Structure 1
C-alpha cells in the first residue's frame, strides 16, 4: 500500500539521518545548527512533508490516516524537527489554495492583544520552524518565525512568539473551515508521534532487560521485571490503536474528528506516564543520564503529554460528548471505533 511505502521511506530516512547524535546536535544548536538544515533537506528530498498535498499540486495525495506510519516514525526516532505539523499544515494550506514556505511549519493558537499584535504563549516545535500556522479568533494566519519577538524561555524545542501589529496585519489570512480547531489538529499528530515514541521506549527497555545481567542472569528473567514489561506492552499497543483511531476517518482525509482525537490523545498521554516510569525503573539511574538515549524519548513523551491538551483536557471533551449524546452509550463507542480505515 502507498501508506506502507511512505512509512518505510520515513523509517529509512530517519534511521540514516536522524541518529541520537544528530538529535542532540539539533537540540543544542537549534534551527541554525548545520545538522538541522541537512536533515530537513533530506526530508524535503524524500517528499515526506508533501505527503498530504494533492497530487495535482505536487504531493502524494494521502489522507491523514494513510500518513499515520510517517507520523509514528517521527516519534520512533525522536525527530526534533516539526515534520508532523508541517505535513498536516501543508495539506491544509493546499486545500485552502494558499502557498507555503519551504521550511517547517508549526501549528498553534494565537491570542490577539489590545494593540493589534498576536502572541502564541507556546508553539510546540516553534524553535525549529520557519512559520506558524496559527488559529486566531477571527481565522487563521500564516506567520513567519523570523522577525517574531521571542517570549519567556520555553522548553528546549518549543518557543513563545509574538508578532507586532504590522506583522500580524501583513500575515496571510488562510481560509480553513469554521470547524477546524488547532488543538484538535495538533493533538491528532502528537498522538501518532507518541505511539512511535512509546514503542521505541518499550523496545529499548526490552533489549536492556535482556542484556543487563544481575546475579548471573539477565534481569529480564526476573518475574518482577517481566511483569513490568508486560504492563508496558499493554500500554504501548493500546496507545497505538487509539492513535490510529485519532487519525482515521478524518473528513475529507484531513480533518480529524474531535471525539476520536480525544480518545487518542487521552490514551497516549496516560500511557506516556506509565511507560516512561517503568522504563526508567528498569534502566535504573543510567536511563536518566544525558549520555543515554532513553531520555531523548521519555523527555518528549512528557512534553507531548501536555502539548495539545493533556489526558485531563481530552477526558473532559469525551465526557461532554457522552453526556450530550442521545441513545445508548454503546452507539458513541461504535462511532469512535467502527472505522474501515483502521488496519492491523
Structure 2
C-alpha cells in the first residue's frame, strides 16, 4: 500500500469527521452517551465509510491494511476529538476476524481486566466505555468479548470513559478470543492512543496559532509579540516531534500484518506524546487566556482529552521505564536500539 493510498484513507476520515463530528456533535455525545441520537447517527456515518473494517483482510471484506497504514485515520480521530472508539474498533475487528469470532454490531473498546474472587471480571478503565457496544478485554493471556450493556458501570474522569464490572455468569457466557501470544492490549492501545494524541496536539496548535493571529492587543495581533512567538515555537517543536514518534509507534510489528506493534517503538511514541500533552495544553491555555478555560470554547474538547489520554495505557513515566529497561538489558551499542526504533524501512 503506497503513501498516496494511505493519504486517501486519511482524507476520507478527514472529510467525514469534518462534516459529521462537529464540536456540537461531540458535546451531544458526551452528554447523552450510548443512547444519544448523535451517537447512533455518527457511528452509522463512520460505518458507511468502511473505515472500521480497514484492518480486515480483503477476503474478509476489508482493505487489508496494517496499523501503520491507518495512522492518518487514527490521527484524524484525535484531530476532530472523535468521541467514539473507531481506532479500537478497527483493531478489535481485525483480531476477532483472525480468531474466527463473530463481531458484534456497533463499536468495540479495548481494555485490560482483572478477575474477581467471585468469578466476575472488572476493568478499572474502559476508554469510551459509555458509548462502545462491546469491549475486547485481556486478563492475563485470556481475551474475552463482553457486552457493555450487561456491565455495571461507574464514571471516570473523562466523560465517556467508564469502569465496568461483569458477573461470573456473564464472563462465562462471553466468547473467548484466541489472540497472538505476543500481543499485549496495553501496548496495542498505547499505539492507537498516541496516534490520536498526535492529531489532537496538532489541532490545539493550529487553534492557538489562529487565535494568536486574530486576537488584538495594544493595536496588533498578540502573535506579533515575542513572548507569544516563543510559546508557539515551543508548541510546534513538541507537536511535530510527537507526530513523528506516533508514526513510529504504528509501524509494522511482529505479525507480518502490522496489527501487533513493536513494544519499544510504542514506548517511544506514547512517552513522547504524553510528555507533549502537558506542555502543549499548558501553552495553549496560556495563549488563549481566560476564554480558553470556558466550557463553551472548543479548546477544552481537545485539552481535556489530551490530559486523559496522557494516562491511558500508561503515562510517559511508565513508557520511559519500558524503554530504559530495554536499554539496560541490551548487550550491544545504544545506537543499535536507536536504529531499531527509527528504521524507516518499516515506517509508513
TM bucket, shorter chain: over 0.9
Aligned residue for 2:328?
Answer: 323
Paired with 1:58 and 1:174, the residues of 2 have a C-alpha distance of: 20
Q: How far off is 1:249 after superposition?
A: 2.0
- Residue 333 in 1 paired to residue 335 in 2? no
Please point out which of 143, 149, 152 is paired with 1:149.
Answer: 152
- 1:274-328: per-residue Cα shift (whole Å, max 9, x none)? 0000000000010010110000000000000000100000010000000001110
CA distance in 1, matches of 2:76, 2:188: 18
- Aligned partners of 1:111 and 1:136 also within 8 Å: yes
Does the C-alpha gap of structure 1 residues 315 and 100 become closer, same or farther in structure 2, counting only changes over 3 Å?
same
- Residues 301/153 of structure 1: CA separation in 2 closer, same or farther (3 Å cut): closer
Contact 2:158/2:304 (8 A) holds in 1: no
Alpha-carbon separation, structure 1, partners of 2:176 and 2:39: 29
Q: Give SS of 1:135's match.
A: strand
For residues 10-44 of structure 1, the C-alpha deviation after alignment (integer angstroms, 9 at most, x for no partner) is: 00000000000000000011011001100000000
Indicate the residue corresponding to 2:300 in structure 1: 295
Which of the residues 172, 186, 195 maps onto 1:169? 172
Q: How far is the alpha carbon of 1:109 from its aligned partner?
A: 0.6
Equivalent residues in 2 for 1:232-251, closer than 5 Å: 232-251=235-254
SS of the equivalent of 1:116 reads coil
- Partners of 2:54 and 2:140 lie apart in 1 by 29
d(CA) in 1 for partners of 2:275, 2:266: 14
Contact preservation (8 Å) 2:125, 2:156:
no
Q: Which residue of 2 aligns with 1:307?
A: 312
Pairwise CA RMSD: 1.0
Query: Using the alignment, how far apart are the partners of 1:92 and 1:164 within structure 2?
Result: 24
Q: Take 2:172 and 2:117, find their aligned partners in 1: how far apart are those partners? A: 14
SS of residue matched to 1:128: coil
Structure 1 CA distance, aligned partners of 2:202 and 2:174? 39
Deviates more, 1:91-100 or 1:191-200: 91-100
- Return the TM-score normalized by structure 2: 0.97
Map 1:124-273; keep pairs closer than 5 Å: 124-151=127-154, 153-251=156-254, 252=256, 253-273=258-278
Structure 2, unmatched stretches of 5+, are none
Contact 1:266 1:311 in 2 (8 A): yes
Equivalence for 1:342:
347
SS in 2 for 1:335: helix
Q: 2:157–2:308: 8 Å Cα contact kept in structure 1? A: no
Of 24, 28, 31, the match for 1:28: 31
Aligned to 1:65: 68
1:191/1:264 contact within 8 Å kept: yes
**Residues 9 and 180 (structure 1), Cα distance of their counterparts in 2 relative to 1, 3 Å cut:** same
Equivalent residue of 2:345, what SS?
A: coil
Partner deviation per Cα, 1:187-242 (whole Å, 9 max, x = no partner): 00000000000000000000000000000000000001001001100000000000
CA distance in 2, matches of 1:216, 1:341: 51
Measured after TM superposition, the shift of residue 153 of structure 1 is 4.9
| Separation in 1, partners of 2:192, 2:156 | 24
- Aligned partner of 1:52 in structure 2 is 55
How many Å apart are 1:115 and its aligned residue? 1.2
Q: What is the deviation of 1:138?
A: 4.2
Count of paired positions: 343
Shift of 1:152: 5.6
Task: Please list every run of 5 or more consecutive structure 1 residues that lacks an aligned counterpart in the other structure.
Answer: none
Mapped to 2, the partners of 1:152 and 1:255 lie a distance apart of 30
Deviation at 1:2, TM superposition (A): 2.2
Tell me the residue number matched to 2:105: 102
